[in-house]
Amino acid sequence: MQGRKQQRHRFGGSGGTISVSKNLLDLIQNRRAQVAVVGCGYVGLPLALTLWRTGFRVFAVDIDKEKIAALRACRPYVWGVEESELKQALNSGDFVPTQYTDEAAKSDVVLLCLPTPLDENNIPDLSALRQTAEWLSQHLRKGQLIVLESTTYPGTTEEVLRPILERSGLTADRDFYLAYAPHRYDPGSKERRIGDIPRVVGGVGDASLEVACAFYETFTPKVVRVSNTQTAEAVKMLENIFRAVNIALVNELKEVFMKLGVDTYEAIEAAATKPFGFMKFTPGPGFGGHCVPVDPFYLAWRAKQVGMECDFVELAGRINRQLASKIVWRILTECARRGINPSQTPFVIIGVAYKPNIADTRESPAFPIMRLLRSVGVSVCYHDPLVPKLPKLRLYPEFEGMASVELDRLSEKALVIVSDHDVVDYRSLLRAQVVFDTRFAMRKRGISGATIVEV
């Protein structure tokens, strides 16, 4: 495949004709391109399987030996990835789990789905991207397409990824193609799979844009072209910060409404009947996941680099981080009102994933709540059928290895609903001393009772 003679194809573009490898386009359009998905987490693994279903030969690449061993043994570790499909993919010979290898790095198309967290000072941590780019630069060859999918600030592809790749001696948009296409994946959703969602694509030049769009058109219903990678990166920031700001807004309004004696849930449900000018967001214990809690601070950091402030955006991030302490204060206040001694009552957190019906615990609001309860002498454990054991947690190492408990002897316990998975029997929770509901989970299911307290 790599030894084939590179032909060039001319496309008309805003800047005249652009040179694109016809060989790579043919490989992509005929599903004969070899694709490497680097980073097999909650985004990368479903994407790799989607590409395999599309007909590509796929390397599922990860630096984590345990993940690769699990995939090779047909043990899916991502919620929504079925063992039967993984087995079929492995048996086909066209789905190859591997660590960082020369063969994977030389794939025709390389997609980067890497973690981009914040460090302890709220500064973007792009170490995984830099390390992977160094690896790729050692193997980069002419005619490859490299696409970054990770959530990041505008300028990352051009200012961080491109210079490292060009240390190979090759030039982006001339010798190889470089683009940014922000991932759009809704974990836990059966209605919106990766192959059903339109994708935004921006290239470092016209040639890169053409090749990247040709690739995404093979497995997505619509490709939205934007003028460059910075714009595509800004799209991802906009999508996630829109959610962060609106969630922070309804959580702040909830505080005000509670003081005014207004039923927040009823007000939101009534407002949602307006068919224009309103989008429903529901208050809760805080947003989680690998994007929404991080992006306000990502953009704020980037804005400061160019002498700007993002006061409103940063405020949304701060409101989210304050929610745990407000919830715990309301829990302790209600315990005092009911004559419950928290230090003598076992507390069980219901759901530790960051959203319902998935197993992803990254940035989950459950953990600051657990830590705060422990800090005042409360015994805390958790029940989550989707998370039988807690993994290593970036900010909460004390909970690593904790196992989910069974819901028995509920009359002796206090419960705190943080993530309302559908698999939980919520009516049975009424047997507990008290149920603190941070998600309106009971009301949404038509369950009421004197033991339920919406916090």
Domain count within the chain: 2
Instruction: Tell me the C-alpha to C-alpha distance, in Å, between residue 412 and each of 280, 330, 339, 408, 429.
Output: 37, 20, 13, 9, 12
Element (H, E) at 402: none
Max Cα-Cα span within the chain:
80
Q: Please tell me whether residues 293 and 321 are part of one structural domain.
A: yes
Q: How many CA atoms lie within 13 A of 410 on its CB side?
A: 18
Nearest in space to 220 (alpha carbons), one of 195, 239, 200: 195
Cα distance between residue 274 and residue 261, in whole Å: 23
Stronger pLDDT, 122 or 104, i.e. the higher one? 104
pLDDT band, residue 189 (cuts 50/70/90): low
pLDDT band, residue 286 (cuts 50/70/90): confident
Determine the 3-state secondary structure of 51 from DSSP: helix
Q: Please tell me whether residues 309 and 172 are part of one structural domain.
A: no
Q: For 307-345, what is each residue's pLDDT tens digit?
A: 999 999 989 888 988 999 999 999 999 999 999 999 999
Determine the pLDDT at residue 347.
98
Pick from 227, 257, 281: which residue ends a domain?
227
Q: How would you list the strands of the sheet with 109-112, edge to edge?
A: 95-98, 57-61, 34-38, 109-112, 145-148, 177-180, 199-203, 223-225
The C-alpha R_g of the chain, in whole angstroms, comes to 24
pLDDT band, residue 80 (cuts 50/70/90): confident
Give 203's strand partners.
179
**Residues labelled catalytic:** 291
Q: Please tell me whether residues 364 and 253 are part of one structural domain.
A: yes
> Cβ-count burial of 130 within 10 angstroms (0-12 exposed, 13-18 middle, 19+ buried)?
middle
Give mean pLDDT, residues 205-234: 98
Determine the pLDDT at residue 18.
52
Q: Is the pLDDT of residue 8 over 60?
A: no
Which sign, positive or negative, has the C-alpha torsion 15, 20, 26, 28?
negative
Stronger pLDDT, 15 or 40, i.e. the higher one? 40
CATH number for the domain that contains residue 339: 3.40.50.720
* Number of neighbouring beta carbons within 10 Å of residue 81: 17
Residue 297 lies in a domain: yes
Q: Please tell me whether residues 263 and 325 are part of one structural domain.
A: yes
Q: What angle do CA 179, 185, 191 make, to 5 degrees?
A: 135
177: its two tokens: 């193609």
Q: Please tell me whether residues 171 and 268 are part of one structural domain.
A: no
Pick from 193, 227, 261: which residue ends a domain?
227
Cα distance between residue 181 and residue 14, in whole Å: 21
Q: Give the phi and the psi of residue 6 in degrees, each rounded to 5.
A: -80, 120
Residue 274 lies in a domain: yes
Q: Please tell me whether residues 182 and 286 are part of one structural domain.
A: no
Residue 233 lies in a domain: no
pTM: 0.89
**CA 169 centroid distance within chain:** 34
Give mean pLDDT, residues 35-59: 96
Angle, nearest 10°, between helix axes 264-271 and 229-260? Answer: 130
